[in-house]
Amino acid sequence: MTISLESPLGGEGRESRQRLKRRLLRCGGFISQMARNPLTAIGGGIVLLLLIVALFAPWIAPYHPLIQNLDQALSPPSARHWFGTDEFGRDIFSRLVYGSRITIYIVLLVSLTVGPLGLLLGVSAGYFGGKVDTVLMRVTDIFISFPSLVLALAFVAALGPGLEHVVIAITLTAWPPIARLARAETLSLRQADFVSAVRLQGASPLRVLWRHIVPLCLPSVIIRITMNMAGIILTAAGLGFLGLGAQPPEPEWGAMISSGRSYMMECWWVVTIPGLAILINSLAFNFLGDGLRDILDPRSE
């Protein structure tokens, strides 16, 4: 007769370690899959660099982004000012570094708002159908019928200039494609055998949606949100260029291009450098979205 001296707590500890190990292996496999695609790896690297720069901006920027030095106004790129200075003598590199915080703030806040909103409306319309589907999709069609930038301009004009109003305006224009995607995914899932089995077991519609349909719609929604981030950056930059976004002297990239366009023929760096920052980061999010689609979407295999 043998007596096990192993305590239940030890067994639970082993299980938790095994779960952690499985998650780490899954995460490592996900990263290795992304690294196989050069464009995805480049896009992910640039996005990661953007996050690091935004997080450590006070230690990376050599100058304060708002302090003016008129003696150094419109200085070309040099060892002292890597990307030159603007019309007020402010270091453009430092303003780009701090401007990355504004860009990340807009992208993350819009994505975290648009994702749940579009997913909720889309799965509700696809699952319940009937009048619910008709009403929600007609509202969605109204929003989609307008170009996103024009609609965002209308909302910002109604709300007034400001960073928070830009976030609200972009959110109101970015949710319809996600809702349409979630609805299409739900329509293909609601008649599946496993959903019918769950209904027969007495599960409520809310439980079916939350536990079974929403998790299956999430990969497609995440991919769509990631690819929308490039459009969010461009829309925010466009609103900033028109003076409707972050207000001076905030170092928003679109506003930097707007303030420097009067000097662009003689001082190319004032406009070119912020424009390149917008271009590179928009491409990075597109590359990352393509890679996530190849990994998360089983139909792409």
3-state secondary structure of 85: strand
Distance, CA of 237 to CA of 19 (rounded, Å): 43
For 153-162, the pLDDT digits (tens) are 888 888 888 8
CA nearest 81: which of 261, 251, 72, 273? 72
Distance, CA of 244 to CA of 166 (rounded, Å): 8
Which are the contacts of 261, defined by CB distance < 8 A and separation ≥ 6?
271
What's the residue count for the chain?
301
Q: What residue has token string 């901006």?
A: 57
How is residue 91 annotated by DSSP?
B
Distance, CA of 140 to CA of 121 (rounded, Å): 9
Q: Which residues, given as ranges, of the chain have pLDDT below 50?
A: 1-9, 300-301
Write down the pLDDT at residue 7: 47
Write down the pLDDT at residue 61: 92
CA dihedral 101→106→112→113, nearest 10 degrees, is: 150
Which are the contacts of 247, defined by CB distance < 8 A and separation ≥ 6?
161, 162, 255
Distance, CA of 58 to CA of 292 (rounded, Å): 32
Write down the pLDDT at residue 5: 47
Structure tokens at 274: 């912020």
Distance, CA of 225 to CA of 232 (rounded, Å): 10
The CA distances from residue 18 to 14, 30, 215, 282, 287, in Å, are: 6, 18, 23, 39, 33
Which are the contacts of 286, defined by CB distance < 8 A and separation ≥ 6?
43, 227, 230
Write down the pLDDT at residue 9: 46
CATH 3.20.20.80 fits domain 52-61+88-296 = no
CA nearest 190: which of 177, 174, 203, 175? 203
136: phi then psi, degrees, rounded to nearest 5? -65, -40
* DSSP state string for 24-44: HHHHHHHHHHHHHSHHHHHHH
Q: What is the pTM of this model?
A: 0.83
